[in-house]
Structures are given as structure tokens and as C-alpha cells.
Amino acid sequence: MPADTSPSRSSATSSSPARALSRRARLDRLRRLTARDHHLLRWLAEHYVLSTDQIAAALFPSRRSARLRLARLQQMEAVSRFVDVTTGSGQYLYTLGPLGVVVYPSAFNDPNRAHVRAPRSSVERTERIIGSRKLRHLLGTNQLFIDLAAYSRGDDNAMLARWWSEQHAAAVFARSGIQPDGHGVWAAGGREVGFFLEHDNGTEPLGTVLRKLRGYEQLAGYGPRYPVLLRVPGRRREQHLLEALAGVPTAMPVATGIHSEHPAGPAWTLTTDPGLRRWLHELPSDHGPDNPATNPHRFPDTDPGGVDPDR
């Protein structure tokens, strides 16, 4: 008679404990994730990548404590890391690891293409991020929001109440066609100021930067009227923008600032009043009409991604 090629009872029995152990190990790792860990993983799910310094500034009391916890999270496969070759700092950059993807399966799979198929694994997602032509731009964009989050840790009256990525904001405001590099709501000084960020590395012609304002004109007709922040590398490029926009009416407030200044302020110059630099919470801001049909994401929303885990 031919040999029996079906799995034996003993082999099936021997593999079962291995599977059970794997499940138990995953559950154990999940139980060891803290509220701060979950906050970080939510950020990585939406914003792709953060550096050691960025994570330390926004979420930890010191760089050393951040490095120790990040090393532990890597061992738990909650995060993955690779060396930053974009800025020359040589520090680690972090993305979601296999466990992190299980906890926060992300709709944002590729920085270059919003509607690409989902990756087969967290490794493939990380490879897309590493190979993205937008990696340096992502880090620069995220830095503004990290600076605000870090600032709020030392000021009980300030909070980054919302932080949306480019793809998140573009999806929510698709009707207008805007594609800001990021969208946030900053609460400070008794005010809640929404804003759209256009992070400029100085690689595009000024005309290209200015054409991005057209979509905001349409959004202002039915949605929020938030300031558009044109953040540029240096004072000279900022001055060129201010000169180009002098006397040009815009439906949205437009303010310029430079990378080296802290975004909480006073770092912003309104194009309608170039003689004064303002704090972010001093910029004009309007959440728009309270109309669910045209402005369904009007702030305030239930937005757990904006809650400080230390509060």
C-alpha cells in the first residue's frame, strides 16, 4: 500500500503548542504597550516616519529614555528602524513594525502614491518609505508638528489638538482639490487656530508654490478658513514670497515663516501685514460653517490622534 502522506497526529500536535506560544507571545507584547507607545504608533501609522530626536522631543523626558524605550519597542517588533541618510545626522528613523501594523493597520501605505495597493507586510511598507523621494520632505513637514507637540508638554495651556498628514487632509478636503503637506489645529492663548502647512525646501519655483493657493480659494467658499502657512528655508525666499503676494487678495489668510524659527511663534508674517511677526495662535482662523453637508469635519471632532498621552 502507498505510504500515508497525510500529516500525522504527532506532527499536528507538535505544531499546535508552537502556534499557541506565538499567540501568547503576541498577546504578552500587546499588554506591555503603554499609552505613550500607542500614541507613537498612531503617529507612525499616519505620518510614516519619525526620527529619534523627534520622538524624544515630543514624547519623552530625555533622549536617553527615548532610545531605551525605542530599543525595547524594536525588540517587541512594534517599530522598525533604519539609519537616516537624508540629512546626514546618522540617527535612526522609525516606522511601524509587524506588531505596530497589527495594532494600527494603516490606510497610508506609500508616501509617493496615495491609492497604491496595500503592502503585503510591514517590511514592504518600510521599504516604500525608505525608497520614497519624499523622505526628506516628510521629516521636515513632521518637524513642525513635533515642535508644537513638544512645546505643549511645557505649557498646560497649549495643545496640538489635531495633526493630519497630507493624504489624510487631501482625502477629507478632496472636493476642493487641496493637497497640503499637513493640517493641524493648535490650541493656545485661549484660541484654537487651524492651519494648512505648505513645507517648502526651496526646490520649486515660486510660481509653483503660489499656484497651490488656488485650491484653498475654493475651500474657503464652504469649509474652514484656516491660514495657509508657507514655511521656507530662509529669509530671502520668504521675502520673495511676500513681494509676490503683496496686494494680492486671498480668501484664506496666508502667512510665511522660515524653518529655523519655532512654529509656536512669534514666527509668522501675514501677507496682508508684513511689518509684524505673530505667534501661531494669533493668526486669523475660522472653523467654517456648521454645516455637516459641506463641512463635515468641522473642528472640534473626536480626534484621539491629537490627545497628549501624558495628560
Helix 135-153 and helix 52-59, axial crossing angle in degrees, nearest 10:
20
39/203 Cα distance (integer angstroms) = 33
Partners of 286 in beta bridges:
225
> Of all residues in the chain, what percent are helix, strand and coil, respectively (each to 5)?
40, 15, 40
The mean pLDDT of 98-123, rounded to a whole number, is 88
Digit-coded pLDDT (tens) for 15-38:
455 555 587 888 888 999 999 999
Dmax (CA) for the chain in angstroms is 95
Digit-coded pLDDT (tens) for 122-173:
999 999 999 999 999 999 999 999 999 999 999 999 999 999 999 999 999 9
Digit-coded pLDDT (tens) for 201-227:
988 888 888 888 988 999 999 999 999
Query: Can you give the pLDDT at residue 21?
Result: 54
**Closest C-alpha among 303, 148, 289, 141 to residue 225:** 289
60/149 Cα distance (integer angstroms) = 11
6/49 Cα distance (integer angstroms) = 46
Task: For cell 526620527, name the residue.
Answer: 51
What sign for the dihedral angle of Cα 221, 258, 269, 193? Answer: positive
pTM, entire model:
0.87
20/120 Cα distance (integer angstroms) = 24
Digit-coded pLDDT (tens) for 236-277:
999 999 999 998 889 999 999 999 999 999 999 999 999 899
